[in-house]
Structure 1
Amino acid sequence: MRAIETDTIAPGIYRVETVIDEKLHGYHVLEGADGPIIVDPGVVDAPTTVYRPFLEAQGWSLEDVSLAVITHADADHHGGNRELREHAPGVTFAAHDADAPLMESVDRIMRERYGMFEADHDIGYDAATREWLDGMLGPDERIDLRLRGGERLALADRDLRVLHTPGHTRGHLALYDPEYDVVLGGDAIFGRGVFTVDGDSIQPPPYYRYPEYRDTIELLRTLSPEILSLTHYEVFEGDDVTAFVDESLAFASELDALALDLVDDRGTITLQEAIDAVVDRRGSYGLDVDLAYPLSGHLDAHVDRGTLERTTAADVVAWRRA
């Protein structure tokens, strides 16, 4: 059993926190119309080590879980799907259609998400990191219900809106409670990075789809919720919500401009060269290889705008002025 802390964010919305590998994980439980709803089953053993103690303290059991809404395809968000199904055979797993295939196959997520830069850029995680990611994933498990965003989720006394919030992944989802002005955002936005509970940098903001990420930031700015609960941060309230949204946009805007500057400095640049240049200018983010995600997104967005074009250098993909 992991050490957990719980908080009531709004009536019928609970946050269940734990620390995994020095990183905060704030998961959510909702009082659904037909029993408890889990938002993200978490890592491989989270259903029993994180959720079950909380559910039993509320007078529920793990077997009572009727629905699990999964915000996106990442090991620490859906790795516990199989364990949850084993204890709650009647549970329905719901996720965005774009991310569901990755959730259903360990081989596919390791290849297409965690290995997405290997073929074109010769960039990948080392063996220890891949083993760490694989260790958070349970066996393959099907997704029962595929969402697109725009659906409504019935709680015991009201509905939540399902939002499509891409950027970190193609099919990232968030939940919005308009009555109590709450957004449960998963990994929708990242400020200037992800940190340990002691404040040390773990990784840069790992979005890779831009301008979709910018659009998600603008959606949250438009909603301007009173409470924003993301998985790897303390709960934001009031002005702190606005500040974090602004911080997320500032980082993305700066990196978009920096990506173009790096091309102008070098003439032609590979993704690894871009990563190294950002670290030289800004310092290390911890897992610097994850700069591949936002940098590739910005460089390819410049290709779409016509300012850059793709080419090759040293047998890998590179970018230069169009």
Structure 2
Amino acid sequence: MAPDADPDTTIEATQLTPGIHRVETITDGKIHGYHVLEGATGPILVDPGYVDAPTTVYEPFLVDLGWSLADVSLAVVTHSDADHFGGNHELREHSPGVTIAGHVADAPLMESVDRILEERYSQFADEHDLTYEQKVYDWLTGMMGPDEPVDLRLRGGESIRVQDRQLRVLHTPGHTKGHLALYDPEYDLVIGGDAFFGRGLYDAEGEYLQPPPYYLYPEYENTIQLVASLEPDQLSFTHYDVLTGDEIDDFVAESLDFVAEIETLALEIVEDLGPVTLEEAIEAVVDRRGSFGLDADLAFPLTAHYGELVERGDLETVERDGRVAWTRP
């Protein structure tokens, strides 16, 4: 099942800088702000979006600018999540000559529904016996069209021409191994998918949807600091309003504070409970900090920090009833 656009919400388009546009809608109560670039040989999409977003979200905007989906020359997929690459197949159906590009580390997951369901959306099944409810898998699968190849593997450091200037491709791992963002140095703008998350994702009414789902640490913290070092005037991520000025500073600070808090909390839980499984750690976080909505996604940051703590020698892994657990050495 594809996401449902909220009935009272229209698609809103905003020009962020010359040649860079944000096309925003609300689906399943969640902000989706995608981006269109005016490239040298036609429009460039930053994330084709969920399964039918090319026709339901992008096409009306492109028509207003005198283009069509057939004119799209390049699609840069920021990372391997269903609501960012799920529209790859539909885009190719309407623009057979489009080049679909993604980071080399994420491209294999974007190309295969089976693989992303197994390796990303079920990554805690084997060691921790944790999976989503079936309705979540149905929702994720419904956002993805048929398998579609990724034509161009990126690594970060490339440039993309927009009008008379070049944007820089940034490798911003943490949420995924191959997450990408784009930086416009002339106008101090950073656009991307889900590079970092403050204290979590919220719906359009400000209610928690999920905690920050990063699973690579310290890469996630490094990404936050990289973007902060650019001192952008505007920050446009998919599931948040466009941020400017002090809003960016606050969002960066919230993101870093959450990282520090969850690492401290992860250690405290091991100290208090002894050998602790991932399921027990999630329950303990919710008991101490309250619900984040989809609390199962606390598995991502918790395993990121427990893995780093094991690497540093502060913790070690043991087995309890066929599951991985963490304890002091």
- TM superposition score category, shorter chain reference: over 0.9
Aligned counterpart for 2:279 among listed residues 272, 276, 282? 272
Instruction: Report the counterpart of residue 94 of structure 1 in structure 2.
Output: 101
Aligned counterpart for 1:161 among listed residues 165, 168, 175? 168
1:227 and 2:234 matched: yes
1:22 and 2:29 matched: yes
Instruction: Report the counterpart of residue 281 of structure 1 in structure 2.
Output: 288
Instruction: Report the counterpart of residue 77 of structure 1 in structure 2.
Output: 84
Q: Secondary structure at the match of 2:26?
A: strand
Give CA-to-partner distance per residue, 1:24-63, whole Å, 9 cap, x none.
0000000001110000000000000000000000111110
Instruction: Report the counterpart of residue 181 of structure 1 in structure 2.
Output: 188
Aligned length: 322
Tell me how far apart the structure 2 counterparts of residues 27 and 210 of structure 1 sit (CA, whole Å).
26
1:33–1:155: 8 Å Cα contact kept in structure 2? Answer: yes
Matches within 5 A, 1:210-225: 210-225=217-232
Tell me how far apart the structure 2 counterparts of residues 311 and 224 of structure 1 sit (CA, whole Å).
43
Tell me how far apart the structure 1 counterparts of residues 220 and 119 of structure 2 sit (CA, whole Å).
19
Give CA-to-partner distance per residue, 1:288-307, whole Å, 9 cap, x none.
00000010101111011110
1:293 and 2:300 matched: yes
Q: Secondary structure at the match of 1:50?
A: helix
Give CA-to-partner distance per residue, 1:183-210, whole Å, 9 cap, x none.
0021000000100000110000000101
Q: Secondary structure at the match of 2:271?
A: helix
1:317 and 2:320 matched: no
Tell me how far apart the structure 2 counterparts of residues 6 and 156 of structure 1 sit (CA, whole Å).
19
1:122 and 2:147 matched: no
Q: Secondary structure at the match of 1:72?
A: coil
1:239 to partner: Cα distance:
1.2
Give CA-to-partner distance per residue, 1:144-194, whole Å, 9 cap, x none.
000000111111210000000000000000000000000002100000010
Tell me how far apart the structure 2 counterparts of residues 313 and 276 of structure 1 sit (CA, whole Å).
17
Unaligned runs of 5+ in 1: none
Instruction: Report the counterpart of residue 212 of structure 2 in structure 1.
Output: 205
TM-score (normalised: structure 2):
0.97
Q: What is the root-mean-square deviation of aligned Cα atoms in Å?
A: 0.8
Tell me how far apart the structure 2 counterparts of residues 309 and 268 of structure 1 sit (CA, whole Å).
9
Tell me how far apart the structure 1 counterparts of residues 282 and 255 of structure 2 sit (CA, whole Å).
19
Instruction: Report the counterpart of residue 46 of structure 1 in structure 2.
Output: 53
Percent identity reads 63
1:315 to partner: Cα distance:
1.1
Aligned counterpart for 1:134 among listed residues 114, 119, 141? 141
Tell me how far apart the structure 1 counterparts of residues 187 and 228 of structure 2 sit (CA, whole Å).
17
Q: Secondary structure at the match of 1:7?
A: strand
Tell me how far apart the structure 2 counterparts of residues 62 and 186 of structure 1 sit (CA, whole Å).
21
Could you list the runs of 4 or more consecutive aligned residues of structure 1 that deviate by over 6 angstroms after TM superposition? none
Instruction: Report the counterpart of residue 237 of structure 1 in structure 2.
Output: 244
The one-letter code of the counterpart of 2:153 is R
1:287 to partner: Cα distance:
0.5
1:309–1:320: 8 Å Cα contact kept in structure 2? Answer: yes
TM-score (normalised: structure 1):
0.99
The one-letter code of the counterpart of 1:13 is I
1:72–1:99: 8 Å Cα contact kept in structure 2? Answer: yes
Unaligned runs of 5+ in 2: none
Tell me how far apart the structure 2 counterparts of residues 242 and 295 of structure 1 sit (CA, whole Å).
25
Instruction: Report the counterpart of residue 261 of structure 2 in structure 1.
Output: 254
Q: Secondary structure at the match of 2:22?
A: strand
The one-letter code of the counterpart of 1:131 is D
1:42–1:76: 8 Å Cα contact kept in structure 2? Answer: yes
Instruction: Report the counterpart of residue 40 of structure 2 in structure 1.
Output: 33
Tell me how far apart the structure 2 counterparts of residues 214 and 178 of structure 1 sit (CA, whole Å).
22
Give CA-to-partner distance per residue, 1:274-298, whole Å, 9 cap, x none.
0000000011111000000010101
1:34–1:156: 8 Å Cα contact kept in structure 2? Answer: no
